[in-house]
Amino acid sequence: MGKPLLALAQKVKHEVKPEVLHHRVSIVGDHGLTHWTEALEASYDMIVLWLCPPCFHRLEEEEQRNHWSLWWNPLFWLSYLPLALCVLSGKWIHSLWGQGGRVRPDEEPDEMRARMHWIYAMDGPIASLTLLDLIDVLFDLPNYEQRKFQSDMLSWTITLGVTSAYVLANSYFISAMKHRSLVGVRLVIVCQTVFAVGLLNMLVAGVIRNKSSRRFGNDFFETWLEFATWCTRLTMVAFMLGAAFVYSRLWNVYKADYRATGDVLFHMHGRYLRRECERYAIIPIAAVLMWTLLLVAYYNDDDLFWDALV
């Protein structure tokens, strides 16, 4: 750690001008910053927002950035750099179809945090893991065993389908924020919440099943490794629940726009809803596709189900 990390810290501090530090949220996504600096800024913002105590939030912005409890804290660096890589990979993925920057020039802080902290930070890693899974399958070709290869290909195909549906829904979420669509944003919030709560129920039900059926005697898990795997899955589900919580802040953000359009009049209300539902119908379709694939995986093999997600 030591000198290289401190050098990186100084580099980030100097790249982000002091006069802009009091508006940390607003600078994320500026074209004047490199992609890597944007990712570092988003990572820093996440850590300060979610992991630092309220007393730290009351410090001046410049004092926060120079505080010893961050730059000399190994836990900070263990979170800071991996989170930045997650955000950067997600930003590159969404840049392929023009969603690598702000949703609008007047992007709100909550919109920025939904995009950078949760959409990019989730989509990048799961897309990268899908690619790594394919490479792993292809590396097995020299030692080809039909049964194993078919199982691996089925697992990867389901993973690809689930990942594509999840990234597609998030892409439409960014589009809904860009167009300030009340219906589109609420569809995403509902689908995200149902998905996360459903996975949480499956995790808890699996543990209860192990105990009630005495699958492992009086224990919930057979080995500590299985317990660690379960905790990893729980962390992923917690991240999705956290995303749903942050997205919920946008539930009424565009309500004023909707009322101002005049479409709120009774005789035009149906036309407005039909237009918005047609535009964002892909969101519930993607959710149904995702659950269908996961249920297929679950009824084939419990591990196959989670392989499609983790």
Which 3-state string (H, E, C) describes 67-97?
A: CHHHHCCHHHHHHHHHHHHHHHHHHHHHHCC
Q: Which of 173, 189, 158 is nearest to 251 (CA)?
A: 189
Residues 260 and 128 in one domain: yes
Residues 131 and 173 in one domain: yes
**Candidate from 1-15, 17-31, 175-189, 236-250 with smallest mean pLDDT:** 17-31
CA dihedral sign, ordered 22, 24, 26, 30? positive
Measured distance CA(281)–CA(301) in Å, rounded: 31
Residues 40 and 148 in one domain: no
The position carrying tokens 């539930």 is: 251
Residues 250 and 299 in one domain: yes
Residues 169 and 184 in one domain: yes
Residue 142 to residues 65, 145, 149, Cα–Cα distance (Å): 51, 9, 11
Residues 229 and 133 in one domain: yes
State the total domains in the chain. 2
Average pLDDT over residues 123-150: 72
Q: Note down the domain range covering 124.
A: 102-310
Residues 114 and 263 in one domain: yes
Residues 119 and 132 in one domain: yes
Residues 6 and 73 in one domain: yes
pLDDT higher than threshold 60 for residue 7 = no
CA dihedral sign, ordered 191, 192, 197, 198? positive
Q: What is this structure's pTM? A: 0.75
Average pLDDT over residues 50-73: 84
pLDDT higher than threshold 90 for residue 290 = no
Which helix (H) or strand (E) segment is 264 a member of? none
Residues 139 and 233 in one domain: yes
Residues 182 and 210 in one domain: yes
Q: What is the pLDDT of residue 115?
A: 92
Show which of 101, 120, 152 is a domain's final residue: 101
Q: What is the pLDDT of residue 87?
A: 92
